[in-house]
Structure 1
Amino acid sequence: MVAMHYEVYVDLIFLINFMMDGILLLLTVGILKCRITWGRLFLAAGVGALVGVLMTVIYLPNFWLKSMLAYLCGGAGMIFCAFPVRSFRFFAKAFMVLMICTFLMGGILQSVSRSVRSVGIFFLFAGMAYGFGNWMVKFLEMLLVRRQGIYEIELYTGEKCFVVRGKMDTGNSLKDPCSQKPVHVMAKKKAEELFGEELRRENKNFYRIPYSTVQGEGEMPVLEIEKMYLQPVGDGRSRKTGKLAESGRWMKHPVIGICQIPVFEQEEYDILLNPEGLGGVES
């Protein structure tokens, strides 16, 4: 009988797991749109790496049980160390995102770690994997935002420029009865913030048009501004160079209505865009 002898380099296992767990946590933070400190990140990655070392040196006859304990204990420990968990719902969401990142990226990194002999080359591949994963997260977010019809909007009135966020609203078919221009509806709270003094006085720049909703009828103050620039959130318009994204559009003399009814249930956007108006924008 030949006795088998294995050497386990605990420090190397810990270092590799620390790097992989740190990458997975960074991807999880990016998807959840949370902010954590570097101290929390290093602590969570250290806890995950420690669990990985323990699962390596501790003998358990059942491989699947061992893997399950590693994922559950390591994942839960990393979540509690990285994030200020205040509810089970947030914990479940963060744990699920971490597990998805683990299965997608962890398999790649594990394969690389077994096929390369140099730790430096492994770190190089790990950095490339993180860069690719981070790009994929941003790309998928951009596709989701486009599908939801969310835009970043620049409003130009004279020498002033205001930046707001808008959402395409297929239910908005309001038009100015005189000019027949489509009306884009802005939340009253945001309008008071941008045009406070003018809106309070309702000077010659403002006029009123009739509108009707399921809640009733009334009159809405509207304002025709000089121009408006729209681009889907996530596309790149450089603030330094002013170079427009290919998907960006200019609209001349748009009509902005001030909504006095609570149709803005969330604060993710400030303007409900009229889709008919977007059909005639200029590049």
Structure 2
Amino acid sequence: MRWLDIYLDLIWLLNLVFDWMVLLTVAWVTRKSFSHARIGTASLFASLIVPLSFVPFLVFLNNPISKILYSIMIILLAFPFGSLKLFLTRWLMFYIINFSIGGGLFALQYYFSTASVPPFMSFAQFGSNISWLFVIIFFPLILWLTKDQLHHLSVIQLNNNQLYAVEIKINKECHDVTGFYDTGNQLSHPTSGQPVILIDKTTSEEWFGKEAVQGLAALSPESSGEKFQYIPYKKAGGAQGLLPVCLADSVTVHADQSYTTRGVWVGIHFGEFSRKMDYNCLLNPFIIHSKNGVIKSAGGMTI
């Protein structure tokens, strides 16, 4: 009986760690501020399904409807309700991540269970189907392999055709601009794939100097004193052109939350975006889905 107790303890603790990592991934994908205390409490509650499933009069917990209700309670414990749409998004993300990560772990478990593996990779340890080392190593690995797909599921959305306050840091100098969010700008760096945002000619002359901008227009990046590159792009009408770009230290978009992203290139548009001059920066929708993004709420929590 003592060995059975140890077995249940280890299985419960392993599930606690797994649930904690899944809920953290849900918070990362949905890109909203969260409480580590609530995540921990929800993880503890989620892991209790393991010992409770061995209680005879709680066998109904294995019912699919009971599991759905249990998962709803997990999400309500982990995150504030916010809105019905946000709750449903988090709840669905919880299942999607469980299926994607759990499915990957199950596939690897099946592979290693039929192969000759070292003792430390054995899944018979402590009576567990998946060893500690297996979960700790392969959970982050599978998450890394699926992170591109998970990024596309991010619920962070800026309103199209709307203006936002934007802070661009280049060479440790901060510049404030008014950004226009338009999903039509999907320009990216051809080698790195990183997003490119655009500033107008007047703004670039204020930042880098009029002579430097004129030199860039004449395809002379050395005249600017900055690390500029030229990338190909399509002009209006389909004609090909070369766009001078430099890598920003960071770009921060201020909306309901502040979205700070690294790995963004700033390109110079040799003209004006608007005759009304109500914005001087053209944002790129992919800065919100960048792998280098950091989200900060009014309370200062980041993910």
Scaled by the length of structure 1, the TM-score of the pair is 0.51
Secondary structure of the equivalent of 2:249?
Answer: coil
- Preserved CA contact (<8 Å) 2:167 2:174: no
- Preserved CA contact (<8 Å) 2:105 2:139: yes
Structural RMSD (CA): 4.9
Matched, 1:129 2:149: no
For structure 2, which runs of at least 5 residues remain unmatched after alignment?
114-122, 126-130, 185-197, 214-227, 232-245, 251-261, 284-303
Work out which of the residue numbers 32, 35, 44 in structure 1 matches 2:33: 35
Which structure: larger Rg?
1
Work out which of the residue numbers 79, 82, 92 in structure 1 matches 2:78: 82
Secondary structure of the equivalent of 2:33?
Answer: coil
The letter of the residue matching 2:41 is L
Q: CA deviation at 1:104?
A: 1.5
**1:18 corresponds to:** 16
- Preserved CA contact (<8 Å) 2:30 2:90: yes
Within 5 A, what are the aligned runs for 1:212-231? Answer: 225-226=204-205
The letter of the residue matching 2:137 is L
Work out which of the residue numbers 103, 109, 112 in structure 1 matches 2:105: 109
Quote the sequence identity (%): 18
**2:249 corresponds to:** 239
Aligned length: 197
Secondary structure of the equivalent of 1:162?
Answer: strand
Partners in 2 of 1:160 and 1:12 — Cα distance?
Answer: 51
Change in CA separation of 1:50 and 1:72 when aligned onto 2, cut-off 3 Å: same
Work out which of the residue numbers 20, 36, 46 in structure 2 matches 1:48: 46
- Preserved CA contact (<8 Å) 1:224 1:255: no
Partners in 2 of 1:90 and 1:224 — Cα distance?
Answer: 38
Scaled by the length of structure 2, the TM-score of the pair is 0.48
Q: CA deviation at 1:11?
A: 0.9
Work out which of the residue numbers 59, 72, 89 in structure 2 matches 1:93: 89
**1:207 corresponds to:** none
- Preserved CA contact (<8 Å) 2:168 2:175: yes
- Preserved CA contact (<8 Å) 2:75 2:90: yes
Secondary structure of the equivalent of 1:257?
Answer: coil
For structure 1, which runs of at least 5 residues remain unmatched after alignment?
1-5, 171-183, 187-221, 265-269, 274-283
- Preserved CA contact (<8 Å) 1:153 1:165: no
The letter of the residue matching 1:43 is T
Partners in 2 of 1:44 and 1:223 — Cα distance?
Answer: 52
The letter of the residue matching 1:66 is N
Partners in 2 of 1:84 and 1:36 — Cα distance?
Answer: 8
Q: CA deviation at 1:25?
A: 0.8
